[in-house]
Amino acid sequence: MSGTGRQWLPSPTAWLATLRARFAGGGGDSVGVPIRDWVGATRAPSSRAHGFDQALVWVVVALLALGLVMVYSASVALPDNPKFARYTPTHFLSRHALSLCIAFVAALAVVQIPIALWEKYAPWVFLAALGLLVVVLVPQIGKGVNGARRWISLGFMSFQPSELAKFAVLLYAANYMVRKMDVKERFFRAVLPMAAAVAIVGVLLLAEPDMGAFMVIAAIALGILFLGGVNGRMFALVVGVLLGAFVLMIVLSPWRAERIFAYLDPWNPAYAQSKAYQLTHSLIAFGRGEIFGQGVGASVEKLHYLPEAHTDFLLAVIGEELGFVGVFAVIAAFFWLARRVFSIGRQAIALDRVFAGLMAQGIGIWIGWQAFINMGVNLGVLPTKGLTLPLMSYGGSAILMNLVALAIVLRVDIENRQLMRGGRA
């Protein structure tokens, strides 16, 4: 039935045919009803059809809550160390809780911002991140810890510009791919400018030094280039150049090369008490945890045997106290989270919101890749690298930027739902 007004919904066969054409890259609506209207009209009523993805929020909250408990457990004995003698047993717990509060407030503010504004100001966010990466290298401003200058003290917390750089690069890369969509087959016009931007960020990060953050940023940029449809041969060339650069950095840096040798043979007496010290004690922690763990608070390795137990090696403490069951639950939660974020991104692209989709998928790469590296380092699958476990490890700026990024994913999901109900984003 049709008239001068809006047409009725198509038959199920025509509906499925149009849906396949749409997701295969087809354009318009061949059956007379706009896709945003009939997708929303044919969805069955449920808690996921309106508002926001509650499962996503609850998984994030669960990871944050477990992280808070484990940070307290891993840091409670640190005041016994002369280095932390002036701290109370709850110092890191209270600081982590404060960071969570700040991050929650920031996330609630960010989820109100339309995605169109992020697309408009993406280049300016990138320039601001570059500026902070330069500022942190100034001795009077940047705060040095263990030979690295990565933090800017704000009084109530220390901010790490590399965390903002991860966020800025994914915004800039998504915006860049949208702007260069018509020339994405040309290397010098599509890939080279983006590669130059990432190279500048990489030089500044390696000056801190922070190779771990550079690895995450490179993965984000490459992932968005690939998902944006860059020519396969050009993408392979860029990957080859990056891999060559990483190999060159290892070969030309004796202490990085020694880390690789220690990773390959951690129990060698030449490495067990030096470069492989963290790895060997991490493996001991997992071994003590067995299936169900020693119980919350019962870790022995956190008692000044395992360095950075509340930051880079938090998963080892989880393994010792909660066992294989606890570690598997954390891995499963991160896998589900990354998969769900990617799903939201694909949904946005299907609704012709390419920037929003690429940005969401970039966040999925960020969270998933960094979690993979941290878990691999803790389990001895990857060489030791200073990267925290997203959402869980102690670190104010990391928690802040993780929640800001996930709030943007939530905003993408909210706008997707509005469009599928026939409204406007």
The residue extents of the domains of the chain are 48-420
Three-class DSSP category at 317: helix
- CA 408 vs. chain centroid, Å, equals 12
| 185 confidence band (pLDDT: 50, 70, 90) | low
| 184 confidence band (pLDDT: 50, 70, 90) | low
* Statement: residue 6 has pLDDT above 50: no
* Statement: residue 313 has pLDDT above 70: yes
Question: Tell me, what's the pLDDT at 271?
Answer: 83
Tell which wins on pLDDT, 21 or 267: 267
Query: What is the token pair recorded at 36?
Result: 């945003």
| 183 confidence band (pLDDT: 50, 70, 90) | low
Supply angle C-alpha 222, 387, 263, rounded to 5.
95
Question: Tell me, what's the pLDDT at 350?
Answer: 94
* Statement: residue 219 has pLDDT above 50: yes
Tell which wins on pLDDT, 239 or 45: 239
CB of 289 closer than 8 Å to CB of 321? yes
* Statement: residue 5 has pLDDT above 70: no
* Statement: residue 291 has pLDDT above 60: yes
Global confidence as pTM = 0.84
Cis amide bond preceding 209, omega within 30: yes
* Statement: residue 8 has pLDDT above 60: no
* Statement: residue 103 has pLDDT above 60: yes
| 31 confidence band (pLDDT: 50, 70, 90) | very low
Report the C-alpha gap between 28 and 199 in whole angstroms. 40
* Statement: residue 85 has pLDDT above 60: yes
Question: Tell me, what's the pLDDT at 107?
Answer: 97
pLDDT digits (tens, 9 = 90+) for 111-148: 999 999 999 999 999 999 999 999 999 888 888 776 67
Instruction: Give, in order, the Cα–Cα distances in Å from 210 to each of 149, 158, 345.
Output: 9, 16, 29
Residue with tokens 């990267």: 387
Query: What is the token pair recorded at 197?
Result: 């931007």
* Statement: residue 267 has pLDDT above 50: yes
* Statement: residue 381 has pLDDT above 50: yes
Residue with tokens 């800017």: 152
Question: Tell me, what's the pLDDT at 367?
Answer: 96
Phi then psi for residue 30, to 5 deg, are: -80, -5
Report the C-alpha gap between 304 and 52 in whole angstroms. 43
- As beta bridge partners, residue 145 has 148
Least confident of 306-310, 361-365, 404-408: 306-310
* Statement: residue 24 has pLDDT above 60: no
Residue with tokens 């263990």: 146
| 13 confidence band (pLDDT: 50, 70, 90) | very low
Query: What is the token pair recorded at 419?
Result: 């469009």
Mean pLDDT of 345-352: 94
* Statement: residue 265 has pLDDT above 70: yes
Closest Cα partner for 166 from 338, 383, 402?
Answer: 402
pLDDT above 90 as % of the chain: 53
Three-class DSSP category at 311: coil
CB of 140 closer than 8 Å to CB of 212? no
| 384 confidence band (pLDDT: 50, 70, 90) | confident
